[in-house]
Structure 1
């Protein structure tokens, strides 16, 4: 069923953004990122206690390609 869209004000659209208005069949972003973080890095909340002693994060990536961007 078609979407009815009223007035839209777009302030900015950056390089890796997707602007979607109305119906859509498929959205395919063309950027990817890899994030390295140690143990307990993304914990959120109140009163969290993390004891990791000697934590190490290994960032060796022998193939160098995880998600190729073709487009």
Structure 2
């Protein structure tokens, strides 16, 4: 059902966000990212000690093609 919208003030919209006024069936922001992390990564907290004598992150990607966002604009 249509609605009357008064003044709207938008401060910011994130890079993967949506701002829409009006009728819509479905909206979904889409983004993708590939993250590589080795040993000791993503640690949070106070006083963390990480001792890695030898750390190597192997990232094989035999198919080369990942999920795409094409058509989700």
TM-score (norm 2): 0.59
Q: Corresponding residue for 1:64? A: 64
| Structure 1 stretches of 4+ moved >6 Å | none
Measured after TM superposition, the shift of residue 26 of structure 1 is 4.8
Q: Name the CA distance, whole Å, in 2 between partners of 1:32 and 1:25.
A: 19
Cα distance in 2, alignment partners of residues 18 and 45 from structure 1: 29
Structure 2: gaps of 5 or more residues? none
The alignment covers a number of residue pairs equal to 64
Superposed CA RMSD = 2.9
Q: How far is the alpha carbon of 1:68 from its aligned partner?
A: 2.1
Inter-CA distance 70–21: structure 2 relative to 1 (3 Å threshold): closer
